[in-house]
Amino acid sequence: MAAVMEEEVVEARIARLESDVSHIRSDVADMKVDIRELRNGVGGVKSDIERLRDEVHTSFGAARDETHTSFAMVRLETNTAAGSLRSEMEKLRDEMHTSCAAARLETNTAIGALRSEADRFRGEVHTGFEQLRREIVRRSLSDRIWMLLLAGAILTVMAHGFKWV
């Protein structure tokens, strides 16, 4: 009778362990899905950075073309009216320096913001992986303890059964 009850207890414990293992598997599957979603988010950030870089290149290309056009016009006017155009050319150069400095500052600010966002995202991913690692280690340790306790209980039952104790 006691052996049957012990068998039922052991079977119940094994069923519980199997249930716990299935929960762990489902948790790991959920974590895999979350990691895939994070990877997709990183891809979106990369595409945003690429788009911003392309926009910056386009803006600078347009500014360069516009500058070349402006200089060509200024050169032509300088040949006809050298005195008054020199002062206009200096004003235009100062405006270009100011607008280029403003564009450079705006670009650097946007890039800095993207970098800080990427760093923040990298920190979140790192934190998530650390939490996942700690959870896996914690569950592994508790599973080992339960297995040792079960083995000890089985050995105790056997020792009593063989009248070793």
- Cβ-based neighbours of 107, under 8 Å, separated by 6 or more: 56
Mean confidence (pLDDT) of the chain: 83
pTM for the predicted model, two decimal places = 0.31
Which residue pairs, CB below 8 angstroms and at least 24 apart, start in 40-47? 41/121, 42/121, 45/114, 45/117, 45/118, 45/121
Check: CB of residue 78 under 8 Å from CB of residue 86: yes
Does 152 have pLDDT greater than 80?
yes
Domain residue limits, the chain: 37-157
pLDDT-derived band at 153 (thresholds 50, 70, 90) equals very high
pLDDT-derived band at 52 (thresholds 50, 70, 90) equals confident
Does 107 have pLDDT greater than 70?
yes
User: pLDDT tens-digit profile of 82-96?
Assistant: 667 677 888 888 888
